Structure 1
Amino acid sequence: MIRMVRYNWPKYLVTAVALVVVAALPWPWRLLAVPGAAGVAVSLAATWWAYDRSRLYDWRWALDLLPPPRRYAVVSTGLDEISGTLRRLLPAAEATLLDCYDPRVMTEGSVRRARKLTPPPRGSVPAEPGRLPAATGGQDAVFLAFAAHELRVPAQRRALFAEVARVLRPGGHLVLVEHCRDPVTVAAYGPGAWHFYPRREWLRQAGAARLTLAAETTMTPLIRALVFRR
């Protein structure tokens, strides 16, 4: 949760200033600060629950959903927080780290701050959504954790899923982890939930790339993992 606040601190600062201003208004207008403060509290509590108190960053749960990969790729779009854990869990596997961050496309301040605070791991290779530098059929698994939603243009998402399908061997798996825009996420994050896509978007992109849903699980109702098989 602390990392998320650091990545998004301008938003929280503006919200805090606005709440202070509203709270200083005459009665009963100051009561307008109550729903705003409640919304911030719910958002922070949801983030703490989803990231700090769930099994998400353990990543053993993912390895229970697919055969142990001998070769796998981690595709990120600005922030890679999983490759270190996967390397510890799969010490004998060959890891390829593909960094699709493009500051011309991913212009959100939170992504820039996240990248500055958490630089790409050593060995990361620059990549593009439509051009992953990996051999065709060479990967047993591809991991996409909170990365695909940063591609705001539909054609970029289509291109990424097509490339993932290309680099996966027949029978290989894509592990996609995302917040999905649904009533629970909207209740937790309010308008911020529209930064994410509904579950049907990922099913649509996977279907277009001829990937089949093989497993699904949740880390709290706010985070969903979809495992697709080529």
Structure 2
Amino acid sequence: MDTLRKPLQGVWNIVRFNWHFYILSIGLAMVLLYLSSIQTVIPQEYMVFASLAIVSIILISLLASLYIYDLSGLYSLKWMDRLGLSEKNSIVNINAGFDETSELLVKRYSDAKFSVLDFYDAKKHTEISIKRARKAYPPYPNTLSITTDGVPLEDNSVDIIFAILSAHEIRNNAERIVFFKELKRALKPNGKIVVTEHLRDAPNFLAYTIGFFHFHSKSTWLMTFKNSNLKVSKEIKITPFLTTFVLQNA
């Protein structure tokens, strides 16, 4: 576990930034249990089962998050050894309003020229969890706010661009393609873009049930990359729940 992160920081952040969801879910489970004891219209065992199912879904998602964000080594960044990256002169890290990686990347690539870009837009990204996260964690020093259609980087100027658990927040397909075209424009001819994301797939459905709809499918990502004139040079699984794509100019 990286010393820059506290024990259980990942799962604790999920709870503290989404506490309203957990209160509502537990409250619903308790109401169902109570109603099962006072009404006779719906068989009692059905309502008890529904209550237990709600609690089980919460526990499974928290256990999965504990594994992914606290126990898997995600934030140790050792998995980057498998990406074939070398220390370069120019690195850009992109976040969507909540930055958990810049400090870690700066430590790993200590000799690189490092920039941080944040495409958070309060009008588009209205999730209360992001607002709570931004209040709890100030942005990395000298982070530059950007728009997805105007990345202020010079053409052919960057060796490595990281987008770790951030690009999925661009919900519109056309907007996401424009964004990746902007990243491609800034990339040096032999540069790489590293995209790490949950996918809308079976493992993430088992972990997060309907919450997996917040993620994009692999086919959606591949379509985005293709239409941005980027190709996947390498693909790895950090865990069964996280996929990293290494992109290069097509």
DSSP-derived class of the 1:136 partner = coil
Q: Which amino acid aligns with 2:19?
A: W
Q: Which amino acid aligns with 1:45?
A: L
Q: Which residue number corresponds to residue 45 of structure 1?
A: 63
Q: Which amino acid aligns with 2:66?
A: W
Q: Which residue number corresponds to residue 93 of structure 1?
A: 112
**Do the aligned partners of 2:91 and 2:113 also contact (CA within 8 Å) in 1?**
yes
**What do the CA deviations read for 1:25-49 (whole angstroms, capped 9, x no partner)?**
2233323211111111111111111
TM-score under structure 1 normalisation?
A: 0.96
Task: Decide which of 33, 36, 52 is 1:23's aligned counterpart.
Answer: 33
Larger radius of gyration: 2
Q: Does 1:125 align with 2:135?
A: no
TM-score under structure 2 normalisation?
A: 0.89
Runs of 4+ in 1 over 6 A off after TM superposition: none
Task: Decide which of 224, 231, 248 is 1:212's aligned counterpart.
Answer: 231
Q: Which residue number corresponds to residue 113 of structure 1?
A: 132
Q: 169-178 or 59-68, which moves further after superposition?
A: 59-68
Equivalent-residue separation in structure 2 for 1:62 and 1:118 (angstroms): 25
- Fraction of identical pairs, as percent: 30
DSSP-derived class of the 2:163 partner = strand
Cα drift, residue 178 of structure 1: 0.5
Q: Which residue number corresponds to residue 217 of structure 2?
A: 198
Please list, as runs of the form range in 1=range in 2, the aligned pairs for 1:1-230 lying within 5 A after superposition. 1-24=11-34, 25-26=36-37, 27-28=44-45, 29-65=47-83, 66-230=85-249
Equivalent-residue separation in structure 1 for 2:125 and 2:50 (angstroms): 34
DSSP-derived class of the 2:159 partner = strand
DSSP-derived class of the 1:169 partner = strand
Equivalent-residue separation in structure 2 for 1:116 and 1:36 (angstroms): 29
Cα drift, residue 68 of structure 1: 2.2
**Do the aligned partners of 1:69 and 1:140 also contact (CA within 8 Å) in 2?**
yes
Q: Which amino acid aligns with 1:220?
A: T
DSSP-derived class of the 2:232 partner = strand
Cα drift, residue 228 of structure 1: 0.7
DSSP-derived class of the 1:140 partner = strand
Unaligned runs of 5+ in 1: none
Give the paired residue count. Answer: 230
Q: 26-35 or 132-141, which moves further after superposition?
A: 26-35
**Do the aligned partners of 2:68 and 2:241 also contact (CA within 8 Å) in 1?**
yes
Cα drift, residue 170 of structure 1: 0.5
Equivalent-residue separation in structure 2 for 1:31 and 1:151 (angstroms): 37
Unaligned runs of 5+ in 2: 1-10, 38-43
Cα drift, residue 60 of structure 1: 3.0
Equivalent-residue separation in structure 2 for 1:77 and 1:173 (angstroms): 20
Q: Which amino acid aligns with 1:43?
A: S
1:51–1:73: structure 2 CA closer, same or farther, 3 Å change rule? same
Equivalent-residue separation in structure 2 for 1:171 and 1:61 (angstroms): 21
Equivalent-residue separation in structure 2 for 1:219 and 1:112 (angstroms): 28
Cα drift, residue 63 of structure 1: 4.5
**Do the aligned partners of 1:179 and 1:185 also contact (CA within 8 Å) in 2?**
yes
Cα drift, residue 56 of structure 1: 0.8
